[in-house]
Amino acid sequence: MILAAGKGTRMHSGKPKVLHALAGRPILQHVLDTARKLNPSKIIVIYGFGGDAVPQALPADDITWVQQAEQLGTGHAMQQALPHLEADARTLILLGDVPLLAVESCQSLLAEQAALALLTVHKHDPAGYGRIVREQASVQAIVEHKDATEAQRAIQEVNTGIMAADNAWLAQWLAQLDNRNAQQEYYLTDIVALAVADGQAVAATQSDDEWQVTGINSKQDLATLERVYQQRYAARLLAQGVTLADPARIDVRGTLTAGRDVEIDVGCVFEGEVTLADNVRIGSYCVIRNASIGTGTVLAAYTHIDDASLAEACKIGPYARLRPGTNLADHTHVGNFVELKNAQVDSGSKINHLSYIGDATVGKDVNIGAGTITCNYDGVNKSRTVIEDKAFIGSDTQLVAPVTVKAGATIAAGTTVTQDAPAEQLTMSRVRQFTIENWKRPEKVKK
């Protein structure tokens, strides 16, 4: 059960709090990922603020969505979900705004034999949190901060809101909740006192990791947990043997898989699914999304890659952009201010300077000069350019698709190619150079 109905007033946003992004994904998505790793028989998400925005943003066949039309407290939220609970099952209750919770903590909580088990944490500054009230080490109740006495507010063991309960007891306790408190809400935490009154022991597992149970209530909280997430991801990469120039300056917004002897310079961003093979070197401030980078490939600074695959020993950048559908074979070179889109480039080919190659098939050992453009769009349709093996494309060439440059052809600099260029021949379309005598530049007219 994931409670995700809150507005998040302190976020100062019209968007539901749980849809704000942490590491490139909605906060709630992180909680769902944790829940799925537990192999539950059912996942129930209680949503409220924002109407259907939350289920629409995270559609999934394995989620039962339950709406809490009025936000009357966490206990009220759970009451809305009662019809979906199986009487002989056990429910783990998670919070949609606590994204760093570890699977191991959930497993420990579920392993408790008590009818009700809580996950708690020790906070040096517990203000705002529900206090865990014990008598002779046994949990007796959770008292919310606004309802706590001065003595109770001195308690530093606090409720995280994460708990597990047997459904038969849970249904009974939820039916007994009332809203006679400072907030006039139905507190889920009141079930602790009800469990004690029924003679049921309440187990409490204390987490030694405060960050994993920290909720997000403001943009400051979001920024803080973003850094915690990134620092922990960087630590895992370092432990795997990845060399990071500065672990504080890397952002992984998805999954990064790295081989041996990978080096990553500062300021790099990895989004989606990214795989770096052995001996890959990533220069500073690269942005890589949904890409596979082959063994020994080097990306110079400020290279952008999106939905592309690169084979072994490629040299890319600086300031190169590889857009979706680009596939590079081994030993290809793509240099500064070169953009490729939906282009397949075979081994040994070079596109080193200031070119746009879109919707193109480039063969082996092709050299494409500076300023070359494949004119792939006629305003309505896109067409393909084919450049066969060992062709040489001179600088400032326009290849007007659909067109084919045959194997071994040479295209003279400054040529506009509108027809297929024959193999092993020189093709050019220049106007013969001439000079206009006695011509003078215009002079500025004084007003």
Claim to verify: residue 237 and residue 168 sit in the same structural domain: no
> Which of the four pLDDT bands, split at 50, 70 and 90, describes residue 431?
confident
Residue 107 lies in a domain: yes
Claim to verify: residue 182 and residue 36 sit in the same structural domain: yes
C-alpha closest to that of 169 among 90, 110, 107, 66: 90
Active site residue 145: no
Residue 49 lies in a domain: yes
How far is it, in rounded angstroms, from Cα 264 to Cα 237?
10
Claim to verify: residue 150 and residue 262 sit in the same structural domain: no
Q: How far is CA 15 from CA 8, 66, 77, in A?
A: 9, 19, 20
Which residues define the annotated binding site for Mg(2+)?
Answer: 97, 217
Claim to verify: residue 177 and residue 322 sit in the same structural domain: no
Residue 390: Cβ within 10 Å count: 18
User: Do 246 and 231 contact (CB within 8 A), yes or no?
Assistant: no
Q: How far is CA 392 from CA 136, 148, 225, 271, 368, in A?
A: 85, 80, 52, 36, 6
Claim to verify: residue 35 and residue 178 sit in the same structural domain: yes
Claim to verify: residue 226 and residue 307 sit in the same structural domain: yes
Claim to verify: residue 6 and residue 144 sit in the same structural domain: yes
Burial of 420 (0-12, 13-18, 19+ CB in 10 A): middle
Claim to verify: residue 380 and residue 327 sit in the same structural domain: yes
- Average pLDDT on 186-192 reads 92
What CATH number is given to the structural domain containing 371?
A: 2.160.10.10
Which residues define the annotated binding site?
Answer: 3-6, 17, 68, 73-74, 97, 130, 144, 159, 217, 323, 341, 356, 367, 370, 376-377, 395, 413, 430
What CATH number is given to the structural domain containing 176?
A: 3.90.550.10
Q: Give the pLDDT confidence of 220-279 residue by residue, as tens digits.
A: 999 999 999 999 999 999 999 999 999 999 999 999 999 999 999 999 999 999 999 999
Which residues define the annotated binding site for acetyl-CoA?
Answer: 370, 376-377, 395, 413, 430
Residue 353 lies in a domain: yes
Residue 100 lies in a domain: yes
Decide which of 213, 238, 271 is a domain's last residue: 213
Domain hosting 174: range is 2-213
Q: Give the pLDDT confidence of 377-400 residue by residue, as tens digits.
A: 999 999 999 999 999 999 999 999
Q: What is the pLDDT of residue 430?
A: 83
User: Do 337 and 373 contact (CB within 8 A), yes or no?
Assistant: no
How far is it, in rounded angstroms, from Cα 27 to Cα 275?
24
How far is it, in rounded angstroms, from Cα 379 to Cα 381?
6
Claim to verify: residue 174 and residue 229 sit in the same structural domain: no
pTM: 0.91
Give the pair of three-digit tokens for residue 431.
Answer: 């106007």
Decide which of 188, 213, 238 is a domain's last residue: 213
Residue 443 lies in a domain: no
> Which of the four pLDDT bands, split at 50, 70 and 90, describes residue 7?
confident
Residue 437 lies in a domain: no
Q: What is the pLDDT of residue 57?
A: 96
Residue 357 lies in a domain: yes
Asked whether the predicted pLDDT for residue 182 surpasses 90, the reply is no
Decide which of 171, 194, 213 is a domain's last residue: 213
Overall domain count for the chain: 2
How far is it, in rounded angstroms, from Cα 380 to Cα 426?
31
> Which of the four pLDDT bands, split at 50, 70 and 90, describes residue 336?
very high
Residue 440 lies in a domain: no
Claim to verify: residue 146 and residue 89 sit in the same structural domain: yes
| Catalytic annotation, pick one of 20, 84, 122, 353 | 353
SS (H, E, C) 285-316: CCEEEEEEECCCCEECCCCEEECEEECCCCEE
Which residues define the annotated binding site for UDP-N-acetyl-alpha-D-glucosamine?
Answer: 3-6, 17, 68, 73-74, 130, 144, 159, 217, 323, 341, 356, 367
Q: What is the pLDDT of residue 138?
A: 87
Q: Which residue has the tokens 């259907």?
A: 52
Asked whether the predicted pLDDT for residue 434 surpasses 90, the reply is no
Q: Which residue has the tokens 């129930």?
A: 44
**pLDDT, greater one: 430 or 11:** 11
Claim to verify: residue 300 and residue 422 sit in the same structural domain: yes
> Which of the four pLDDT bands, split at 50, 70 and 90, describes residue 317?
very high
CB neighbours of 354 closer than 8 A, spacing ≥ 6? 336, 337, 338, 370, 371
Claim to verify: residue 193 and residue 232 sit in the same structural domain: no
